[in-house]
Structure 1
Amino acid sequence: MPSRRSILLEEMVWPEVESALENGTRTAIVSVGSIEQHGPHLPLNMDTLDGDELSQRIAEKLGDALAAPTIRPGCSGHHMEFPGTITIPPETLMDVIRAYCRSLDDHGFEHIVLVPTHGGNFGPVKTVAPDVAREIEATVIPLADLDEHMQLLNDGLSEAGIKYNQDVIHAGAAETAVVLAVNKDLVRLENIESGPEGKISTARLLSEGFKTITQNGVLGDPAEATAEAGETIIQNVVDTYVDHIKNERRSV
């Protein structure tokens, strides 16, 4: 198993990257995160923290991949009523993704995997990936099925013994569990508050903003979270995504 340091592109020196490419490391994992509110108890970089962890673990499990720096910020306009949120237009995010992919392609990476970790980024990733794939030699692999991603998070809770399920996940049990697993010191446990439960209109959240649904920025009950559930969630996503990547690489 490669060390975490050895697969983080941003911590490498250029001869190490050159050597990795020459020795068969041809896949780059690019998470697409955000800087946005996650209630009064989770940090603004929750989606980026998640992206960092996923890209590193995916690269480790593949064994022949590097984890590129997570792209941030993302498309978070629907969170702008909460201070600290930073958002960019979808067109800007897609331009950044194009630039990332072109750069990695120029250096000889043959497979570029896009891993959105914020709901507002799934659409732009899915839209831009086919265009980028036509522009460069590398294969672009977008893991941008939001329904699948939400299901993997809910499945992780269930497998950890937490009987809790949300159609729309934000700052509740699943995401709180992930941060507890990755860096528990970032969770303000004393500030945990629940938010609306049940059916949530995604269209309303996106068009009218989160504050029309939840005053504290939370959906569901984060008090249900445990670090053990967070670890199960992360491993579920990693295992599923690694299988997707291997299947895509074999089909090229």
Structure 2
Amino acid sequence: MPSRGSILLEEMVWPEVESALKNGTRTAIISVGSIEQHGPHLPLNMDTLDGDELSRRIAETLGDALAAPTIRPGCSGHHMEFPGTITIPPETLMDVIRGYCRSLDEHGFEEIVLVPTHGGNFAPVKTVAPDVGREIDATVIPLANLDEHMRLLNDGLSEAGIDYEQDVIHAGAAETAVVLAINENLVRMENIESGTEGPISTSRLLSEGFKSITENGVLGDPTKATAEAGETIIQKVVNTYADHIETERRSV
């Protein structure tokens, strides 16, 4: 059956998926995003937008992969003081991930790559991945190193000529740049304002909530963001993650 060439699983019809699997597609990329506040200027689905873009580009880079629908919502309890945020318990998120992986494994995918894009999802992904990997035939690859993820975002800004770095990234220069690159119309430019600067206590953020640190939900200075920097950040993450997947393949 002829295919329209989409690599987005949700846009395909089932015979196209069946044909792709028979013709060498082996990998499914699953981003794990969120629906949560990102200040007064970024949409609630920022992490999901990022996940959609990363999974699509990683699949394109690999050449033998499909991008599964991004999982949302995620574990965002620390943002619940801001209206619109939707959160689920870690055990619920892990159950959804199990369901995704089991389904895709049953259809014949040989590798399932998990790509969290929201900080609160990294721990659940790291926790559930080994368990699922023991339950199914497919190899489960979690790209869930939060420190590396933050470093890639900062490095992308630097490579784009923006001299700005944050230890904890949320709704500041890096994430604003990413949304500008994906869909600039979603950024409320008239509402951009700086948030809390300086060292941030992640334990306090998680235990007391974001509003204990920042009144507007922003960390850092989003005014430094550019669409060009966002493109650099996205491609840097894609290239690094694709390299990780290829390395994992060689080790199996």
TM over 0.5: yes
Task: Return the offset for 1:4.
Answer: 9.4
The residue that corresponds to 2:155 in the other structure is 155
Does structure 2 conserve the Cα–Cα contact (< 8 Å) formed by 1:154 and 1:165?
yes
The residue that corresponds to 1:129 in the other structure is 129
Does structure 2 conserve the Cα–Cα contact (< 8 Å) formed by 1:4 and 1:56?
no
Deviations 1:86-133 (A, max 9, x none): 000000000000000000000000000000000000000000000000
Does structure 2 conserve the Cα–Cα contact (< 8 Å) formed by 1:4 and 1:60?
no
Does structure 2 conserve the Cα–Cα contact (< 8 Å) formed by 1:113 and 1:143?
yes
Task: Return the offset for 1:174.
Answer: 0.1
Task: Return the offset for 1:15.
Answer: 0.3
Separation in 1, partners of 2:232, 2:4? 20
Please tell me the residue identity of whatever aligns with 1:243. Answer: D
In structure 1, list runs of 5 or more residues that go unmatched. none
Percent sequence identity is 88
Task: Return the offset for 1:5.
Answer: 5.5
Please tell me the residue identity of whatever aligns with 1:156. Answer: G
Please tell me the residue identity of whatever aligns with 1:169. Answer: I
Could you state the TM-score of these two structures normalised by the residue count of structure 1? 0.98
Task: Return the offset for 1:236.
Answer: 0.4
Deviations 1:47-87 (A, max 9, x none): 00000000000000100000000000000000000000000
The residue that corresponds to 1:75 in the other structure is 75
Task: Return the offset for 1:249.
Answer: 1.3
Please tell me the residue identity of whatever aligns with 2:20. Answer: A
Separation in 2, partners of 1:110, 1:64? 11
| Aligned pairs, number | 250
Separation in 1, partners of 2:80, 2:210? 9
Deviations 1:7-62 (A, max 9, x none): 00000000000000000101000000000000000000000000000000000010
4+ residue segments displaced more than 2 Å: none
Please tell me the residue identity of whatever aligns with 1:104. Answer: L
- Is residue 239 of structure 2 the alignment partner of residue 239 of structure 1? yes
Change in CA separation of 1:208 and 1:5 when aligned onto 2, cut-off 3 Å = farther
In structure 2, list runs of 5 or more residues that go unmatched. none
Match of 2:78, SS state, is: helix
Q: How does 1:194-233 map to 2 (within 5 A)?
A: 194-233=194-233
RMSD: 1.0
Match of 1:7, SS state, is: coil
Could you state the TM-score of these two structures normalised by the residue count of structure 2? 0.98
Change in CA separation of 1:35 and 1:5 when aligned onto 2, cut-off 3 Å = farther
